[in-house]
Chain A
Amino acid sequence: MAVLRVLVYTALVVLAIGLQVGPFSELAIHGVAPDLLLLVVVAVGLVHGPERAALIGFVGGLALDLAPPADHVAGRWALALVVVGFLVGLVRDDARQGPLGIVGAVAAASFVGTSIFALSGLILDEPGVTVGGVLEVIPIAVLYDTALALLTVPLLMALGRRLEPDRDEWVRAA
């Protein structure tokens, strides 16, 4: 089961990054594309807990930092998604109570993730990153991610539960 899980999540991460920088960048609203990888990390956090979510966040984030159109300092998305995965994993018991909890978790995760990424850009004095631009981009990103999460996150969570049914049960029992 563990090998299958690694394979499935590797494929998911690659697919999410590919879609995010490819087709979904065409559907950008005011230049803001949805963070599909972030949704994957959130789903992992909700199903598998903080440790694995942080791990997937790190690996996926680093891949996103290195995937072709990216030209920023590597590690920024990795850092952001580690934090996102860890935090979502911590609050998963509350967040999984109902659809509203999931939506709230996604919105918070999106806010935290895009904020960390943007702020790290500000701190590193990356070209093109301005406070005004950041303040404009973050709300759009949060809304877009949340809207897309309504479709994707429940599916990803269902997939995650199938990959690891036992764990889900003992979490419920605890």
Chain B
Amino acid sequence: MRLSSPRDDRRPRAVAVALAMAAVTIITVDATAGDDSPVDPLRSAGGEVFGPVESGLDEATRPIEAVADQVTTVDGLRDDNARLQAENDRLRAELETAGIDRARIDALAEMTRFGDQHGVDLVTAQVIAMGPAQSFSQAVTIDAGTADGVESDMTVLNDQGLVGRVLRADLHTATVLLIVDASSVVGGRLGTDLELGMLRGDGELSDVGRLTLTTMDPTVEPATGDIVVTWGSRGGTPYVAGVPIGRIESVESSPRDQSSSARVVPYVDFSALDLVGVVIGASPPGDRTERAAPGEGR
């Protein structure tokens, strides 16, 4: 057993100071020697000794590292996931809007084509409001008014077919009565034999909404599947001629009344109205019957 003495206390300090001095000396020699350092042989000896140790340990721990890699990259994966999800959302939103934009462009193109073909001028407008079901009036508001040349009793159509007519035009908006409204009566012409009839709405906006066609000549029996286009009024108001209205779904004939009525499925999807066109210039006279049914085959 030794008792600690001042001498014992001093010894470690002396050793430590000596070692620190040695380290500083090595640093100085190595730092000042530049490229031709006397430490370099020691360095290569260190490489000789530790190179195998390091590669051996690396081999031995590689399976552990593989697991560790996965652990340490969870954060990275989370980041990746968040980033990709954001990108996905953005692209999806873009794609969805692209679909809507495309539909609108198609609708516009179709309407323009119809206008060109029929020699009518169209003002395009957007449906901005739809009358509530409890009003029992199937009317919509569009964002074009007298300032755009829209006046009452003008024909309103879209790329699918006849929508209705302008009931009332204000400066920047107009109210359009849809042909499915119970008070709407449209003169129609059968696509195949040009027979005339009147179409009345049933007040139903949804897909089950039908128009009832009553032919002027009671002996004419419309054929199922035949298409109906507008008959056309004087001066193109309220309806210009040749706008497709719908397709005959079924025919009911009543021999006692000597009349027949047909149920017509409208081409327009009235619950999804978006872009519509208002015919502000009537088609030239004498031109109408030749240009029947642009939407035939739809």
Per DSSP, are chain B's interface residues mostly helix, strand or loop, or mixed?
Answer: helix
Give min CB distance, B32 to chain A, whole Å: 9
Give min CB distance, B26 to chain A, whole Å: 3
Judge if B22 is at the interface, Cβ distance under 8 Å.
yes
Task: Report yes or no: A68 in contact with B50, Cβ–Cβ below 8 A.
Answer: yes
Q: A50-B13, A54-B15, A55-B19 are in contact. Are A75 and B30 (CB under 8 A)?
A: yes
Contact of B16 among A22, A54, A74, A120 (CB under 8 A): A54
- From A173, which residue of chain B is reached at the shortest CB distance? B1
The A-contacting residues of B in range 12-48, CB under 8 angstroms, are 12-13, 15-16, 19-20, 22-27, 30-31, 37, 39, 42-43, 45-47
- The answer for the CA separation of A174 and B2 in the assembled complex, in Å, is 9
Contact with B along A79-103 (1 / 0, CB 8 A): 1001101100110000000000000
Task: Report yes or no: A63 in contact with B50, Cβ–Cβ below 8 A.
Answer: yes
Per DSSP, are chain A's interface residues mostly helix, strand or loop, or mixed?
Answer: helix
Q: A22-B54, A23-B61, A82-B16 are in contact. Are A124 and B23 (CB under 8 A)?
A: no
Give min CB distance, B201 to chain A, whole Å: 73
Judge if B64 is at the interface, Cβ distance under 8 Å.
yes
- The answer for the CA separation of A61 and B54 in the assembled complex, in Å, is 16
Task: Report yes or no: B50 in contact with A17, Cβ–Cβ below 8 A.
Answer: yes
Give min CB distance, A18 to chain B, whole Å: 4
Q: Which residues of B contact A73 (CB under 8 A)?
A: 27, 30-31
Q: Which residues of B contact A57 (CB under 8 A)?
A: 19
Judge if A49 is at the interface, Cβ distance under 8 Å.
yes
Give min CB distance, A15 to chain B, whole Å: 8
- The answer for the CA separation of A26 and B69 in the assembled complex, in Å, is 8
Task: Report yes or no: B16 in contact with A67, Cβ–Cβ below 8 A.
Answer: no
Task: Report yes or no: B57 in contact with A86, Cβ–Cβ below 8 A.
Answer: no
Task: Report yes or no: B50 in contact with A14, Cβ–Cβ below 8 A.
Answer: yes
Q: Which residues of A contact B15 (CB under 8 A)?
A: 50-51, 54-55
Task: Report yes or no: A66 in contact with B16, Cβ–Cβ below 8 A.
Answer: no
Q: Which residues of B contact A14 (CB under 8 A)?
A: 49-50, 53
A-B contact number at CB 8 A = 124
Judge if B58 is at the interface, Cβ distance under 8 Å.
yes
Q: Which residues of B contact A50 (CB under 8 A)?
A: 12-13, 15-16
The B-contacting residues of A in range 25-50, CB under 8 angstroms, are 26-27, 49-50
Judge if A58 is at the interface, Cβ distance under 8 Å.
yes
Q: A18-B57, A19-B57, A67-B50 are in contact. Are A75 and B27 (CB under 8 A)?
A: yes
Task: Report yes or no: B46 in contact with A124, Cβ–Cβ below 8 A.
Answer: no
Which of A22, A50, A54, A124 has the most chain B CB atoms inside 10 A of its CB? A22
Task: Report yes or no: B57 in contact with A75, Cβ–Cβ below 8 A.
Answer: no
Task: Report yes or no: B46 in contact with A75, Cβ–Cβ below 8 A.
Answer: no
Task: Report yes or no: B12 in contact with A86, Cβ–Cβ below 8 A.
Answer: yes
Task: Report yes or no: A54 in contact with B23, Cβ–Cβ below 8 A.
Answer: no
Which of B12, B58, B72 has the most chain A CB atoms inside 10 A of its CB? B12
- The answer for the CA separation of A75 and B22 in the assembled complex, in Å, is 8
Task: Report yes or no: A26 in contact with B20, Cβ–Cβ below 8 A.
Answer: no
Q: Which residues of B contact A23 (CB under 8 A)?
A: 57-58, 61, 64-65
Q: A65-B26, A70-B46, A79-B20 are in contact. List 4 more A-B contacts (CB 8 A).
A: A27-B68, A62-B23, A67-B46, A78-B26
A-B contact list, 9 entries, CB within 8 Å: A17-B50, A21-B54, A22-B54, A49-B12, A70-B43, A73-B31, A78-B23, A78-B26, A173-B1
Interface residues of A (CB under 8 A from B): 14-15, 17-19, 21-23, 26-27, 49-51, 54-55, 57-58, 61-63, 65-68, 70, 73-76, 78-79, 82-83, 85-86, 89-90, 120, 124, 170, 173-174
